[in-house]
Amino acid sequence: MKLVRFDQGKWGILEGETIYQTDGPGGNPTGNAFDIGSVQLRSPAEPSKIVCVGRNYLEHIRELGNDFGNNLPKEPGLFLKGLNTLADPANPASPDNTGEAVPYPSFTSLLHYEGELAVVIGSQMKNVPEDRALEHVLGYTCALDVTARDVQKTDLQWVRAKSSDKFCPLGPWLVTDLEPEKTTVRTYINDQLRQEAPTSMMIFSVSKVLSYISSFMTLEPGDVVLTGTPEGVGELKRGDKVVVAVEGLGDLHTRIAH
Ligand code: MG
């Protein structure tokens, strides 16, 4: 099932080209229906926090020069992105609708893309064991973890590098029945494939990550978890078109402002 958030924050179920409005994410039908081409798609989540895993694919750790040798990280390395980072996706059914552009801030000269599988929580999670974690997921979507790589290396914390305005395009919708360990994440820049990896290559699985977070931080319905990026990260230029495509989900189309 595909869950869509649109216009002023309405929710609906997408079937074919029609959105059947519901009274919340996965809620009861209101009787209203909309053509998907006629709406503005919104980030498909209303989180209280966005929790992100850094360095969750081995080859990405190596490409950033953080070689652990044979000593893989024992626990997921986490950071937060602010809610100001959410950016609405383009509407694939409406070519003129390009969504919200990611600004290119003046403080950086090295903006990077990180395409990722994102998880949206459906029910509260506190101390949930790994084998029950996926029961609390509302759905999955695509995320672009925009990163100012130069200041990530020099600032004390990653606030500017990870949480500048619109640094987290998310969408285009949620898919509720994806198997998160059996899909593939791809990122295209101006139609060229730059990242491609099966999610089975994650060091910490989605179940493990969610369980781990819930051991010290209550995850609330709507919260977003970014699961880390594969190898192949690289530079974004002004005006670039970015597509994050997670197999079985649909494509997140976004762009970098001029
Ligand atoms: Mg990332």
What is the distance in A from the centroid of ligand 1 to the CA of 38?
A: 32
pLDDT exceeds cutoff 80 at 15: yes
What is the distance in A from the centroid of ligand 1 to the CA of 189?
A: 16
Average pLDDT over residues 183-211: 97
Number of Cβ within a 10 Å radius of residue 202 = 23
**Looking at the 3D structure of the chain, how many domains does it have?**
2
Residues 23 and 74 in one domain: no
pLDDT exceeds cutoff 70 at 211: yes
Provide the CATH number for the domain around residue 1.
Answer: 2.30.30.370
The pLDDT assigned to 48 comes to 98
Residues 154 and 60 in one domain: yes
Contact 137, 223 (CB under 8 A): no
What is the distance in A from the centroid of ligand 1 to the CA of 246?
A: 15
Residues 22 and 150 in one domain: no
What is the distance in A from the centroid of ligand 1 to the CA of 144?
A: 8
What is the distance in A from the centroid of ligand 1 to the CA of 37?
A: 30
pLDDT exceeds cutoff 90 at 144: yes
pLDDT exceeds cutoff 70 at 34: yes
What is the distance in A from the centroid of ligand 1 to the CA of 169?
A: 12
Which pair of tokens denotes residue 114?
């990180």
Residues 72 and 189 in one domain: yes
Residues 92 and 209 in one domain: yes
Peptide bond before residue 172 is cis, with ω within 30 degrees of 0: yes
Query: Predicted confidence band at 68 (pLDDT cuts at 50, 70, 90)?
Result: low
What's the CA gap between 43 and 46, in Å, rounded?
A: 8
Pair type for strands 111-113 and 234-236:
antiparallel
| Helix residue ranges per DSSP H, the chain | 58-63, 149-154, 159-163, 206-214
Using a cut of 0.75, tell me whether the model's pTM lies above it. yes
Residues 78 and 144 in one domain: yes
215-239 pLDDT, tens digit each: 999 999 999 999 999 999 999 999 9
What is the distance in A from the centroid of ligand 1 to the CA of 206?
A: 14
The pLDDT assigned to 9 comes to 97
74 or 183, which is more confident?
A: 183
Residues 5 and 91 in one domain: no
Residues 32 and 57 in one domain: no
Classify residue 243 by burial, with Cβ atoms within 10 Å: 0-12, 13-18, 19+. Answer: buried
What is the distance in A from the centroid of ligand 1 to the CA of 232?
A: 12
Work out the percent of the chain whose per-residue pLDDT is above 70.
98
What's the CA gap between 138 and 124, in Å, rounded?
A: 11
pLDDT exceeds cutoff 90 at 255: yes
61 or 125, which is more confident?
A: 125
pLDDT exceeds cutoff 80 at 95: yes
The pLDDT assigned to 60 comes to 73
What is the distance in A from the centroid of ligand 1 to the CA of 185?
A: 13
What is the distance in A from the centroid of ligand 1 to the CA of 233?
A: 9
DSSP 41: B
The pLDDT assigned to 113 comes to 98
What is the distance in A from the centroid of ligand 1 to the CA of 98?
A: 23
pLDDT exceeds cutoff 90 at 120: yes
Residues 27 and 96 in one domain: no
What is the distance in A from the centroid of ligand 1 to the CA of 194?
A: 15
The pLDDT assigned to 67 comes to 66
- The single-letter code of the amino acid at 127 is N
Query: Predicted confidence band at 64 (pLDDT cuts at 50, 70, 90)?
Result: confident
What is the distance in A from the centroid of ligand 1 to the CA of 55?
A: 7
Average pLDDT over residues 129-135: 98
Residues 155 and 117 in one domain: yes
Average pLDDT over residues 19-39: 97
Identify the domain containing residue 251 by its residue range.
Answer: 42-255
2 or 95, which is more confident?
A: 2
What is the distance in A from the centroid of ligand 1 to the CA of 29?
A: 35
What is the distance in A from the centroid of ligand 1 to the CA of 27?
A: 31
pLDDT exceeds cutoff 90 at 189: yes
What is the distance in A from the centroid of ligand 1 to the CA of 7?
A: 28
pLDDT exceeds cutoff 90 at 70: no
pLDDT exceeds cutoff 90 at 72: no
What is the distance in A from the centroid of ligand 1 to the CA of 31?
A: 39
Provide the CATH number for the domain around residue 212.
Answer: 3.90.850.10
What is the distance in A from the centroid of ligand 1 to the CA of 30?
A: 37
The overall average pLDDT reported for the chain is 95
